Amino acid sequence: MAICDANYIRFVDIGAYGRRDSDIFQDNAMGKAFDEGRMNVPQPAAIMDSPVLSFCLVGDEAFPMKPFFLRRPSRGLTPEQDMFNYRLSRARLIENTFDILTSQ
């Protein structure tokens, strides 16, 4: 289980082979710290001329809905929601980060 940002990996928890990501996240120290608000995440802020935005994690459908998580729904979407889902999926950097690590 790993969390990355634009500068690659920030947090990693190794040692939960063969389980679902959502279960691993809820059971490890990282997930518990996020749930308890102890991760020292920056306060919401405006980026350039945008409205105030909260910092969050982007995950897939396996993860639970939480205030700090963005994940994409998949049914009954308008075209605008479908476009948002596409862009949200592109924001999941962790796969690219692991690709970079394995190529080294």
Q: What residue numbers bound the domain in which 67 lies?
A: 2-103
Total number of domains in the chain: 1
Model confidence pLDDT, tens digit, residues 13-64: 776 666 777 788 888 888 888 889 898 888 888 888 889 988 888 887 778 7
User: 10 Cβ partners below 8 Å, 6+ apart?
Assistant: 3, 4
User: Looking at residue 18, what is its pLDDT?
Assistant: 62
Taking 80 as the threshold, does the pLDDT of residue 96 lie above it? Answer: no
Q: What is the pTM of this model?
A: 0.69
Taking 80 as the threshold, does the pLDDT of residue 75 lie above it? Answer: no
Q: Which residue has the higher pLDDT, 73 or 32?
A: 32
